[in-house]
Amino acid sequence: MAKWTEADIPDQHGRTALVTGANSGLGLRTAEVLGAKGARVLLACRSPERGRRALERVLASGAEAELVPLDLADLASVRAAAALVRERTGDALDVLVNNAGVMAVPLGRTADGFERQFGTNHLGHAALTWLLMPALRTRPGARVVTVSSLAHAMGTVDLADPDYEVRPYTAWGAYGQSKLANLLFARELDRRTRTAGVDVTSVAAHPGITATELSANMARAQRNRLVDVGAKISDFFAQPVAKGALPQLYAATSPDVERGGYYGPDGFRGVRGHPTRVGSTAAARDDLAAGRLWALTAELTGVAPDPS
C-alpha cells in the first residue's frame, strides 16, 4: 500500500486554518503546506519578531496568510487571540491545529500561576479551543487537531495537584502530564461533540521523534551539559520536520480520518515513518479521567466548555 505524503492532501481552497506555534518547526511546516494547498492560514505565534519572519516565509510561497499574536501561557492573550480570529474569519474556521508547546523545562509558572507545561500545552489550548468553537461550528466537517507526544506514556495527570504545588517536580514528568492531558482533552472533546450532535471532528496526532527546536530549547532551559548532549544525540536520529509534520497534516486534511482518532508515524515504536492510526496508553483512554480533567480545566481557566 502506498504511503501517505503531502501530495495526497486534498485541495484546501476555501478553507481557513489556525496553527499555534507556527513560527518554527512543525507549526511552520504545517502552515506552509496548508497554505501551499490553498488554505488561508492564520499563524498564531508568541514572538512578534519570529512570527513576522514565519509569515514572510509563508507569504513568499504565494499563500494567503496572517499573523495572530498568541501567548498560550497567558489566558488574557488566549482570549484576545480567539476574539481576533473570530473577527477576522467572520466566525468561520475550518481547522484548528493545537501544535505549540514547551518540553521538559525547569519548574516555572504561567502568567496565571499554573505550572508552565500544563498551563501552556494543555490549559492554553483547551481554552483556545472552547473560545473558537463558535467559529468551528459554522463550518461543516471542521477539525480540531491536538498534537500530543510519545511522552504521554510517561505521564500521569494529578487532578489534585496538576501544578506541582505539593508533589516534587520533574521536568519530564510534567511534560508527560501535559501530553497525556492533550489526549484526554481530545478524547473528551470528541465524546461531547458527538453527544451534542456538533459537526466538529476532534482528533490527535504526534510527530514521533522529530528534529525541531524543542530539544535545543529544553537543553538551554535546563542548563545541563548531559541534557544538551542527549538532545543532540536525539536530533541526530530524528526525522526531519517535513516528515514529522505529516501526522498532523493527515489529521487536519485526510478524508479517511476518523473522529476521535490518534495519528502518528507507522515505523518502529512510532518514532518515525508515515501517518497511520496509532494506539495510546490505557490512561489516555480513561473516560472518567477525561471528564474530570474537562471540568477541572473549565474551573482553572474560567472559560465555559463548548460543548458544555
Catalytic residues: 175
Q: Where are the beta strands (DSSP E) in 53-94?
A: 64-69
Q: Report the C-alpha gap between 17 and 93 in whole angstroms.
A: 6
| Cell representation of residue 39 | 488554505
Q: Report the C-alpha gap between 280 and 36 in whole angstroms.
A: 32
Pick from 144, 101, 157: nearest CA to 281: 157
Q: What are phi and psi of 204, to 5 degrees?
A: -130, 160
Residue 164 contacts residue 149 (beta carbons within 8 Å):
no
Type and span of the H or E element at 202: strand 200-205
Residue 21 exposed, middle or buried by CB count within 10 Å (0-12, 13-18, 19+): buried
- Preceding amide of 307 cis, omega within 30: yes
